Amino acid sequence: MSDSEALVLVEHDAYGIQGAVRLTMNRPRAFNALSEAMLDAMERELQRIGESDARVVVIAGEGRAFCAGHDLKEMRQEPALDYYRELFARCSRMMLTIQRMPQPVIARVHGIATAAGCQLVAMCDLAVASDGARFAVSGVNVGLFCATPGVALSRNVSRKAAFEMLVTGDFIDAQTAKERGLVNRVAAPGELDDAVRALASSIAGKPREAVAAGKRLFYRQLETGIESAYALASETMACNMMDEATLEGTQAFIEKRPPRW
């Protein structure tokens, strides 16, 4: 295993769930900061999973934190505009891969999720957090407005809540993150993996084609007007109804029996 690949630990059939893949960011001493190598390793693994028959993905962090955002020490080594443009473009590509891949992606959050780490939580389709987790887009505290994290954050929480986090850099706790829509579920630290397992298991038990089509449509319709959204949704549902799994599922409902998927 190369040093780059060791930055992301890959577990197939995670949590004892067939089709579940867990990616664990593995820079614990750096609080899993998103170095250039980490971004490349994450992008590579996400691409591989997206092209596989996996059903659900979990992103986790090794050590005491989920992710502390960009690696500021690395960023200061080459203070050039072109370098920063490429770095943030590279990060954006990785984040968009999460949204574009057919599998639902769950963030398993403990410790801190700051700046691009908070962005990563927001870009995941779902998130389950330990009740001790804390979230911030804190770049403004060092003079760097978290512009790219703000794109994801503002698509999860209300406009004013997002802007407050961006201009203050203040932390919010897990319960507040849940109330604002940044995470779906909050669990006690000892029950975090059980909560992730329950959510992943529920997703993995659904027809893969229906979930993939639904995820694709969900994000497309969010970025369009309501008439276009309904047109896209109607076409998606019509095509979905022709899937063998859907035909079996609806027939099973009519016959009052479990579907034979």
What percent of the chain shows pLDDT beyond 70? 98
pLDDT of residue 2: 45
Q: What is the pLDDT of residues 65-88, one digit of tens each?
A: 999 999 999 999 988 999 999 999
- What angle (nearest 5°) sits at the alpha carbon of residue 65, between those of residues 97 and 144? 70
pLDDT at 5: 54
| pLDDT the model gives residue 237 | 86
Q: Is the pLDDT of residue 1 over 60?
A: no
Rounded-to-integer distance, Cα 259 and Cα 199, Å: 20
Q: What is the pLDDT of residues 179-191, one digit of tens each?
A: 999 999 999 989 9
Q: How far apart are CA 229 and CA 217, in angstroms?
A: 9
Q: Are 60 and 22 in contact (CB under 8 A)?
A: yes
What is the structure's pLDDT at 117?
98
* Surface-to-core class of residue 223, CB atoms within 10 Å of its CB (0-12 exposed, 13-18 middle, 19+ buried): exposed
CATH architecture of 3-204: Alpha-Beta Complex (3.90)
Q: Is the pTM of this model over 0.85?
A: yes
Domains of the chain, by residue range, sit at 3-204, 208-254
Average the pLDDT over each of 43-47, 155-159, 224-228 and give the range with the smallest value: 224-228
Q: What confidence category does residue 213 fall into, taking pLDDT thresholds of 50, 70 and 90?
A: very high
208-254 carries CATH number 3.40.50.10110: no
Rounded CA-CA distance 45/10 in Å is 8
Closest CA to 85 of 148, 133, 128: 148
Smallest Cα–Cα separation from 153: which of 217, 207, 140? 140
Residues 140 and 146: beta-carbon distance below 8 Å: yes
Q: How many angstroms separate the CA atoms of 228 and 230, rounded? A: 5
Mean pLDDT of the residues in the chain: 95
Q: What is the pLDDT of residue 79?
A: 85
Give the 3-state secondary structure of residue 110. coil
85-114 tens-digit pLDDT: 999 999 999 999 999 999 999 999 999 999
Lateral strand order in the sheet of 105-109: 8-12, 20-25, 56-61, 105-109, 126-130, 185-187
Q: Please report, for residues 100, 143, 179, 190, 226, the alpha-carbon distance to residue 170 in angstroms, rounded to integers and kept in the order given.
A: 30, 14, 16, 26, 35
